[in-house]
C-alpha cells in the first residue's frame, strides 16, 4: 500500500454493562432491487420498506453439532482520516468514561496530536508495512489479539475495534457495550439473504452457505476476553486460507461474518452506529452516530 496505514482500537475501563404466480410477477423483485441498488437516491428509499432479516438463535449461543455448516471495497486505514476520527471521538465516543486509544500505524511520527479530555489517553503501536491493503485489513486481527494479550487486558475491560476512515457525529456511549458486539452492515440490513456478500467458496475457511445476518467489520467489540477469542479465531482462519492459497471474498470481514455465524453476538448495533450517507433516506434511521468519511482516494494514494 502507498502511504501510511492506520487503524484504531478503543478500550473502556469500568463495569458499565404462494408459489403459483405468473412469471412476470416473479421478475418484479429483482428489478426492484436493481433499482434500489443502482438507482438515484430519490428511488433508493424503496429498499427501506423491505423488512429486516432476524436471527432466531438466542444471544451468545453456538450452533449445535448436526447443523450444516462447513468448515473494490477499499478499507484504507490512513493517517489522512485519523485526526478527524480522534477529534470527533473526543466529542461523542464514551463521553465521561475513561478511554484509551490504541492507534496501530507503520509511521508513528505522523500520528496527529489531538487534545484529549481528562482520563483519556493514547498509545501508538508501530506495525509492519504491507504492500497490499488486503493484508493490512486481514492481519490486523493478529495485531489486535497480541495487543490485548500484552497490554489491553491489564488496562481495560471493554474493547472496540474501529476503522479510522469514519467520523463520530452523535453519541456512541455505554449503551453499545456488551460481551460480544457486532454491527448490522448499513448496506445490507434491509436486503434479503441472497444479497449478502458472504463467502460461498468451500475452499475458504470463511465459507458460509447462508448466513442469518451480514455484519460490518468496521465496528466490532466486547469484553477483552471475547474480542481476543474472536480475533485469534479469525487470524487462524486467515492463515489457513493463506496456506491453501485462498483469499476470502471480503477478507477479514468474511472471516468476521463466519465467526458471528458460529458464535452469535450478545449485542447487535443498529446501522446508525456506522452509517453511509450515500445510502440516502431510511425511515428507521433517526440518528447517525458514526458515518463513513468521504473517500479521497486520489489524495491518500499519493
Helices then strands, each counted (H, E), the chain: 9, 9
Task: Count Cβ atoms below 10 Å from residue 27 Cβ, excluding itself.
Answer: 10
Positions marked catalytic: 253
3-state secondary structure of 166: strand
Rounded CA-CA distance 254/257 in Å is: 5
Pairwise CA distance, residues 82 & 84, whole Å = 6
Rounded Cα gap, residues 209 and 202, in angstroms: 9
Contacts of 66 (CB under 8 A, 6+ apart): none
What DSSP designation does 150 have?
I
Positive or negative torsion for Cα 68, 55, 183, 290? positive
| Cβ contact 67:259 at 8 Å | no
Query: The dihedral of CA 197, 132, 127, 295: what is its sign?
Result: negative
- By C-alpha distance, which of 223, 203, 213, 228 is closest to 258? 213
Alpha-carbon distance 12 to 91, whole Å? Answer: 15
- Could you give the CA distance from residue 98 to residue 202 in angstroms, rounded to a whole number? 44
Are 157 and 15 spatial neighbours (Cβ–Cβ below 8 Å)? yes
Q: Cell numbers for 57, please give them.
A: 438463535
Amino acid at each position: 500500500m502507498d502511504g501510511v496505514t492506520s487503524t484504531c482500537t478503543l478500550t473502556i475501563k469500568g463495569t458499565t454493562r404462494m408459489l403459483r404466480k405468473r412469471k412476470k410477477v416473479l421478475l418484479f423483485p429483482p428489478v426492484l432491487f436493481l433499482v434500489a441498488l443502482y438507482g438515484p437516491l430519490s428511488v433508493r428509499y424503496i429498499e427501506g420498506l423491505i423488512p429486516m432479516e432476524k436471527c432466531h438463535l438466542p444471544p451468545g449461543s453456538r450452533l449445535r453439532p448436526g447443523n450444516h455448516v462447513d468448515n473494490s471495497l477499499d478499507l484504507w486505514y490512513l493517517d489522512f482520516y485519523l485526526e478527524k476520527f480522534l477529534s470527533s471521538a473526543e466529542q461523542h465516543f464514551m463521553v465521561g468514561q475513561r478511554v484509551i486509544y490504541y492507534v496501530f500505524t507503520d509511521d508513528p511520527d505522523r500520528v496527529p496530536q489531538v487534545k484529549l479530555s481528562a482520563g483519556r489517553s493514547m498509545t501508538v503501536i508501530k506495525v509492519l508495512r504491507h504492500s497490499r491493503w488486503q493484508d493490512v485489513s486481514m492481519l490486523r486481527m493478529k495485531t489486535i489479539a497480541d495487543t490485548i494479550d500484552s497490554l489491553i487486558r491489564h488496562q481495560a475491560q471493554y474493547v472496540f475495534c474501529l476503522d479510522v476512515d469514519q467520523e463520530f457525529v452523535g453519541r456512541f456511549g455505554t449503551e453499545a457495550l456488551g460481551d460480544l458486539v457486532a454491527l448490522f452492515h448499513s448496506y445490507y440490513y434491509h436486503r434479503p439473504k441472497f444479497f449478502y456478500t458472504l463467502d460461498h467458496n468451500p475452499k475458504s475457511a470463511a465459507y458460509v452457505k447462508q448466513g442469518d445476518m451480514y455484519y460490518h467489520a468496521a465496528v466490532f467489540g466486547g469484553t477483552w476476553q471475547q474480542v481476543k477469542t474472536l480475533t485469534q479465531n479469525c487470524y487462524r482462519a486467515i492463515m489457513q486460507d493463506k496456506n491453501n492459497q485462498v483469499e476470502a471474498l471480503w477478507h477479514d470481514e468474511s472471516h468476521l461474518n463466519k465467526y458471528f455465524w458460529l458464535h452469535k453476538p450478545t449485542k447487535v448495533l443498529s446501522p446508525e452506529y456506522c452509517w453511509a450517507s450515500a445510502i440516502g433516506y431510511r425511515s428507521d434511521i433517526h440518528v447517525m452516530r458514526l458515518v463513513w468519511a468521504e473517500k479521497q482516494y486520489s489524495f491518500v494514494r499519493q
